[in-house]
Chain A
Amino acid sequence: MHAEPILSGWGHAPVVPASEVRSEDLTAATRGMPLSRGLGRSYGDSSLPAARDHRVASTVLADRILAFDAQTGLMRAEAGLSLSDIYRLFLARGWFVPVTPGTQFVTVGGMVAADVHGGNHHRDGCFGGHVTRLLMQLADGRVLECSRDVEPDLFRATVGGMGLTGHILEVEFRMAKISSPWLWGDRQRVNGVGQFFDSLGRSASDWPFTKGWIDCISGGKSLGRGVMYRARWATPDEAPPRPPRHKKGFAIPFFLPSWVLNRASARLYNEFRFRTQRTKAAGIVHPDEFFYPLDGIRHWNRLFGRPGFTQYQCVVPHATGLQTITRAIQLVNKRGFASPVCVIKDCGPEGEGLLSFPKLGISIAIDVPVRSWTQPLIDELNELVLGEGGRIYLAKDAFTRREHFQKMEPRLAEWQAIRRRWDPDGRFRSAQSVRLLGDAP
């Protein structure tokens, strides 16, 4: 009755035979392990062990808050602390994480490893920029604290380093003080990629949070239409008297058959979403709705069916971005189709994380189902993005080829050199590092 244990990322592709070792004592659980894994929300193979390993250390039981200074907002926590706990406990008290990804079901360790970004990247950068110290277990078994002052090279290689420089045991970071637990925001229908560029550009100076939902299926005049969302924390006067209630949502109970999501159903959904959107609306917004719209549907990844899906997220420079993103949407529609889950964002300058994803430009994230056309599509997209000086986000990737990734990442040699200095025998590895970085399989 019990099959072999399996692990996968959020996209359910790939799925590998492997298990997680769970313990409250993270230092003991990670000793000798090739990789640690948090809540498994990276899409592809970042949190999966290399083929020879079969096991990863799970951080999720090591989730204690070790200190919180209500004066300065400085927080220190074990790596497995989830963003959903922080959000649930601290929002009503007037604190929020300085940077949030699009789901609250991630750990602080994972947020450092992927150096996550959010709708405020143009203003506040990545999560790693707000991290002050990391306690790590290294390849030689030492437990060491690093920061911008102590072992800064290890710190810079670990922020965005996908867990490949050592196990992150504890994270110290600065929370952001918020004026109220509600957002004030507006949304506006957008008729094409060009308008998105204008709108993102114009909003950047006045709005801390900006992002757009982009319809990546419709072509012709409707290509790149969507809805632009902007928000800031509401002032105490604007905010409703009570803090927002955290909704439980509902769950997709099983994998839907893979044919349910197809070009026609996705197009129908997009048409509905676009048409039912008022041209313009403004007012108080629940932070769940703005930051975590998909968290309301637990296991939404099951909508894609057993074959799973991947997200293609890239960032391309502003100058040629309009053409690049238009071309990318056309390529997706020529080869296959995109799901309704597509997001366009503005990125600020590159941060200090040596392998962090964001850099100055426009980022687009397109969810595509895994089909026979997925690999050739990702190859074509990567060639396009590579030619324009863009790059992809490792936390989302499962299909990029080594040669493409290595050409996209001029920083890779420096990062590898630091990594090898701290882990000369290559003890830390993942399925992704084997695929993209040439680690021994």
Chain B
Amino acid sequence: MKVVVLGATKGMGRAMARRVAERGDTVFVLGRDPEDLARTARDLEARAGKESGSFGHAACDLERPESFSGALDAAEAALDGLDLVIVTAGLFATQDALEADAELTRRLLTVDFANTVLFCEEARRRLLARGGGTLCVFSSVAGDRGRKPIILYGAAKAGLSRYLEGLDHKFRARGLKTICVKPGFVRTSMTAGLKAPPFASEPDVVAAQVVTAIDRGRPIIYAPGIWALVMLVIRALPRFVMRRIGF
């Protein structure tokens, strides 16, 4: 497969890119810092047993929607095709930090919702033009219910999840599979410094699960799987309970 990963330099994107590279896919990585991207591309090549220079990279910043089209052009040209687009990039901040900083809130809502959707639209058009493919985007369990510790981040992810759901409904018949990944707490640098709740997972474990879901074309994937059950319960809780608990 010919795979583009936005967010491959860190965390779950890195784990996803490694997973697909190690099974023989050709990878093109997108991200902000060219030097960091080059190091990531070299890592993926070494792991895949390919020659240095086999995997390309291009600058693409979710804060700059004008960078999307050029980055995807470069990817399509280098890969000579496009089968799978994976998006793991995003911003994270705690609810406390966001409440104290309106500018940070604006940035986070823009990046995690509006600009991610714009990037997906760009990728969707290209995949459909080629007759279909897979768009795999990392949303979050945080979007499943309005929860006190994660209101703003959760709101952006809720919007993203709904968008991905709609895409899947509309375009699945035309060959575009949309996969919405909802990770629970994963130990990455994004969550460094936060207390790990029960069922906390590792990026490799999530990546293994998501790659299987991509192969099977499952539209929604909770990772690790236990979060499907946890969120089922959370979604069923009455409002008077949600008002009282801190979760």
Contacts and interface: CB of A to CB of B under 8 A. Distances in A.
Interface of A: 2, 21-25, 61, 64-68, 75, 85, 89, 93
B147 interface: no
Nearest to A65: B46
Interface of B: 9-11, 14, 22, 39-40, 42-43, 46-47, 49, 52, 187-189, 192-193, 195
A210 to B, nearest CB: 32
A66 B189 contact: no
A22 B189 contact: yes
B47 A89 contact: yes
Given A24-B10, A67-B42, A93 B188 contact: no
Contacts of B189: 22-25, 61
B168 to A, nearest CB: 31
Given A61-B188, A65-B46, A65-B47, A89 B39 contact: no
Nearest to B193: A21
A67 B52 contact: yes
A22 B39 contact: no
Given A22-B187, A24-B14, A64 B43 contact: yes
B46 A68 contact: yes
A24 B9 contact: yes
A24 B39 CA distance: 12
Nearest to A58: B192
A22 B187 CA distance: 9
A2 B195 contact: yes
B47 A21 contact: no
B9 A66 contact: no
B192 A65 contact: no
A24 B7 CA distance: 13
B192 A64 contact: no
Nearest to B43: A64
A93 B49 contact: yes
Contacts of A66: 39, 42-43, 46
Contacts of A23: 189, 192
A35 B195 CA distance: 22
Contacts of A75: 46
Given A22-B192, A93-B49, A65 B9 contact: no
Given A2-B195, A24-B14, A61-B188, A89 B43 contact: no
Nearest to B204: A85
In the A-B complex, list the 3 residue pairs whose CB atoms are closest, starting with the nearest.
A64-B43, A65-B46, A68-B46
Contacts of B195: 2
B101 to A, nearest CB: 22
A313 B147 CA distance: 52
Q: Among A21, A64, A66, find the residue whose CB has the most chain B CB atoms closer than 10 A.
A: A64
8 contacts: A22-B189, A23-B192, A24-B9, A24-B11, A24-B189, A64-B40, A65-B43, A75-B46
